[in-house]
Amino acid sequence: MCGICGFVKNDAAQLDLQHLRLMNETMAHRGPDDAGDFVDQNVFLAMRRLSIIDLAQGHQPMLTPDKMLCVVFNGEIYNYQELRQELQQKGYHFSTDSDTETLLHGYHAWGIEELLARLNGMFGFCIYDIAQKQLFLARDRAGEKPIYYYRNADYFIFASELKVLTHTHSIPCAIDHDALATYLLHQYTPGSQTLLANTYKLPPASYLRLNIENLDYDIIPYWDIPHSASLSSASLEEHKTKLYELLTDSVKIRLRADVPVGAFLSGGLDSSINVALIATLGITDLNTFSIGFEHQDFDESPYSQQVAQHFGTKHHHFLLNPKELTTLLPRVLAMVDEPVADAASIPTYWLCQESRKFVKVALTGEGADELFAGYDYYRHLPYPPLSTSPISWKQKIKQYLGLSNPSLELQGMPDPISGFPLMTPFSTITQLLVPECSPEHLLSAYHRQVTQNFAIFPNHSLAKAQYYDIKTWLPDDLLMKVDKMSMANSLEVRAPFLDHRLVEYSFTLPDALKIQGDTVKLLLRESFSDLLPVSILKREKHGFNLPMHIWLRGDLKELVMDTLNPNTLRQEGLLNANTVTSILDQFINHNAPCERLVYSLYVFQQWWHALQRR
């Protein structure tokens, strides 16, 4: 696990080794154990390392013996031992025990496409092929590890974190107004967009191929979720056996490490299953971690304690109280990197910070809700499927975004695809932005995003909803939050449910094995009913629910009001000061339930102010 960065330049670019090392130092938190760089004429690569596997010999950048291939790698290849054996049988010799070396020999043996097809892991890596004068950037299937990039006439530059580029003044800090509108709709920026103009994220399950001579590049997807119109007809028992086997193996290979491994344990179904499977694999002295709040309605500690006692783990429960918020929040926002206004970043940061005192790696339950239909809003999807409705997708999106309503509304509608609650109607977004973003620009981008691959799910609204969440909400909010908060604390977080074999399998399941009446994640509950306490199996999904409406009107009120000061907003000219003031008045003085929007505005402004100071 580490962070990677680099650039390819022409002779006119004012970039050099000192600039590369400044970039690398900016993300020292991602890899405090080691650092390295590599220069070959106009190609500059660097990395920071958090040592997890082969602590002594895994130094990067790593080169092949003939010095014709170089790699910098962020992440973990969980099936590296199996790939290593296969490559050794083909005559390749290994000088380390690290998973990084499998990337070099695997690329040489199979090429980039077949290498990526064989990998089981989370990763963002760069392979420089000196002979072919090509550089490849690749991102894992689910999007657990991000890669940002920017190109102009003089150089192509990339990094694991956006602030690596902004801190070193490698990119112009100009706002993409369409992206800002999308952020205010979702609370994150979906797809390849970032809030900075002409600066992008490499999409999950894709690789970028760069010609180092002319800086031309193309982006090629290498995987997507396969789906057949005829779903599996296997029996419930057969599905239970299959799921148990797949998830057990996924947990098993994610326990591979040369450092202590623990697990997050909220007491919910997903994290409890992880702990149960770790126990069945014979792991003893497991450290588990949970977080709670002083407000009892938001505290899950009784459930996590119950699971910990059931499996005999060494459980650590951390309490986040309001007094710590004003100190903690600036640290969290400094590491958010790009605005993701998911308030769960706050407890996630705290959980990672405290867990890191005991372990270097922790397993998490991320992804289970998207794969097995765990969100409550999935239960309210229209049946028959939306695709049979006489209302077209574009008409429905217009209807949901409220393009024709000029009033200031503070309640977003459900997303027309997944049912996820959008943050605010477009009519309010247009009043927030200065200058106003064109409604049609946002609409067309949004429409393309949600419908481009729906042909593989004919007449199947639940699969479309899950697919949409896996492609947007999961990588661009949940996994982005986990990556930034864990790496801020030099902790590696692994998600067994995001094994691509499990993702593919989940899309063979009929709806009845996911949702049945008021029961969500039915197959998941049935498959592990023999391992978990009944109270956990029957417990409704809780999630990282926070008392944000209390905090924003109380301990955080002064911070928010100062940050969203109307005089400052008018000087900056990005958000309409009158509209923001009206929203704050409705929230603070009239108890309007718009804490998500208030927090999103606060997060954006804090990020923008920090950007101006760099």
Q: Which of 138, 124, 158 is nearest to 9 (CA)?
A: 158
Helix (H) or strand (E) holding 298: none
Query: What's phi and psi for 151, nearest 5 deg?
Result: -135, 140
Q: Are strands 155-159 and 148-151 parallel, antiparallel or unpaired?
A: antiparallel
Contact 583, 423 (CB under 8 A): no
Which contacts (CB < 8 Å, 24+ apart) does range 569-573 have? Answer: 569/605, 572/608, 573/434
Instruction: Give how far Cα 527 sits from Cα of 1, 244, 433, 580, Å.
Output: 32, 6, 49, 49
Give the other-Cβ count within 10 Å of 174's Cβ. 11
Distance CA 507, CA 456 (A): 11
Distance CA 461, CA 319 (A): 40
Q: Which of 348, 240, 332, 216 is nearest to 289 (CA)?
A: 348
Cβ-count burial of 111 within 10 angstroms (0-12 exposed, 13-18 middle, 19+ buried)? exposed
DSSP category for residue 472: T
For 425-574, where are the E strands, in sequence order?
A: 492-494
The residues annotated as belonging to the active site are: 2
Q: What is the CA radius of gyration of the chain?
A: 24
**Cis peptide preceding 61, ω within 30 of 0:** yes
